[in-house]
Structure 1
Amino acid sequence: MPKLQKKILFCLAGVLSFACALSIAAALGKQLWVKGTILCKTAALLVNATEGELHQFVGEIQYGLFFGQRVKQCGLGGRPTTFSFFPDLLNVIPASMHVSVIIFSTALIVFALVGTGFFMFNAFGNPFETLHGPVGLYLWCFVSCSCGCLVLILFSSEVKMHHLSEKIANYKEGSFVFKTHSEQFQTSYWIILVCTLVHIVNVFLIRVAGFDFPFAKSKDLETSSGANDLMY
């Protein structure tokens, strides 16, 4: 492939990687990860509410990785409150899993920026092998993609398997019990998913630029060395 086309592909991959870093950094501090509704089960049972009356006992909840807000509906109007995960909810939520999500999200930003630098270096500089050449580009894309997958898996497990919304809704509630009525992942979560897919796209851009996958290259070297051994 001509050098100009390689530069264009590497520049495109670098721009995509940099855009991912900026998007994840913006998503990290927002409370747009999960949005849902919570049912005040205790109040609904006390008045024996029917399906048509349940909306009077359904509140809202929305949160991110650091803070959020909730509106509790127990039949007497909404009670809006805000909360923060640190340090208030550390004894309620799976703290190790939540901290891991933040760490891997931060690592994803760092590796996306590192990948951006190496893509630009390969486009305009004189890269050498190992971490600076095409093998390094594959490595940074793989690491970034792995971090993105870990963020998605850990956060999904925290929300769905550990019932994070219910634990937040029932925090410091002695007389009422709240149950999750509905919940959906929001913009920040889908940004992580899109950025993970972008790093996979970058892998194929490297391949289109004319550089074989590392494992394919090593396999070719093994077969050629084996043929040389047979000749001698």
Structure 2
Amino acid sequence: MPSLTKTLHYISSALVTSISVAVLGFAMSTLWAKSTMECARAGSEIFNGTAEVTLGLFEGILTRSFCPSFGNTDGFQVIPVLTKTATTSLVLHVLVVCLLALCLLCSAGSILISLYNSVSNPYETYMGPVGVYVCSALSACLSVVVLIIFVLNVTVTSMSEELFEAVGDNISVDLKNKSAQMGVGFFLVIPYAVFSLVAILLIFFYDHAAYTHRREQERPTEDAPKEIMMY
């Protein structure tokens, strides 16, 4: 049976990772970005309307004001609508969703390995500290990659304009001066990455202390007086 210290460290790591999974699960279900564009009738130089795209990972809302009519709000499914455009935006958005799913899978692996170590003493293999390091590190790194890809997709590509055209039934308007604000879901990925790193630190502190203790036991005579070592 593992020691109480080991059990506490690994249980704490599993608990922290479980919290990170809950945070990421909520993040994937809420708002990720909001893009606002100035709008005008095709050929007109007066941009007195606005188009606002509220974007989640799976669902979105298009709100129009004088673009070109007085006002209208349409809900849509993000991936099916992007499929109609068949552009880079679709590939990047699907990549974000897949990477987040992989993050959840890695976190689940970290939880299972931590719980296994809390009740047993496996060898130094992928089922020991190494497994927690790999799974949690992958979760943290992939979540950072998700943040970068999503920002680039919203701000650099023409994702918002393409969504407007597809949802707005190809209304002939001109759009310019796009501005984007990241939402709650996007920022919640940051604490998810932090929690994953905390899970690594909890195991590292225990593993380092255990390694130091083993080294001290392997060399018990190094600090003994020379007179005693002669006998």
Which TM-score tier does this pair reach, normalised by the shorter chain?
A: 0.7 to 0.9
8 A contact 1:97–1:154 mirrored in 2: yes
Q: Decide whether aligned partners of structure 1 residues 207 and 166 sit closer, same or farther in structure 2, where only a CA change above 3 A counts.
A: same
8 A contact 2:161–2:175 mirrored in 1: yes
- Once residues 166 and 209 of structure 1 are traced to their aligned partners in structure 2, the CA distance between those partners, rounded to angstroms, is 51
Q: How do 1:32-111 residues align onto structure 2 when only pairs under 5 Å count?
A: 32-42=31-41, 46=44, 48=46, 54=48, 57-74=49-66, 76-92=69-85, 93-94=87-88, 95-111=90-106
Aligned to 1:13: 13
Q: How many residues align?
A: 203
- For residue 184 of structure 1, what is the amino acid of its counterpart? Q
8 A contact 2:34–2:181 mirrored in 1: yes
Deviations, residues 135-175 of structure 1 (Å, cap 9, x unaligned): 11111112212221222222122112213222222334342
Q: Decide whether aligned partners of structure 1 residues 86 and 59 sit closer, same or farther in structure 2, where only a CA change above 3 A counts.
A: closer
8 A contact 1:166–1:180 mirrored in 2: no
State percent identity of aligned pairs.
23
8 A contact 2:29–2:185 mirrored in 1: no
How many Å apart are 1:59 and its aligned residue?
Answer: 3.6
Return the match for 2:153 from 150, 155, 158: 158
Relative to the length of structure 1, the TM-score reads: 0.77
8 A contact 1:170–1:177 mirrored in 2: no
Q: Which has the larger radius of gyration?
A: 2
- For residue 149 of structure 2, what is the amino acid of its counterpart? L
8 A contact 1:37–1:183 mirrored in 2: yes
Relative to the length of structure 2, the TM-score reads: 0.77
Runs of 4+ aligned structure 1 residues displaced above 6 Å come to none
- Once residues 15 and 166 of structure 1 are traced to their aligned partners in structure 2, the CA distance between those partners, rounded to angstroms, is 42
Aligned to 1:206: 203
- Once residues 177 and 58 of structure 2 are traced to their aligned partners in structure 1, the CA distance between those partners, rounded to angstroms, is 20
How many Å apart are 1:180 and its aligned residue?
Answer: 5.0
Return 5+ residue gaps in structure 1 as ranges.
213-232
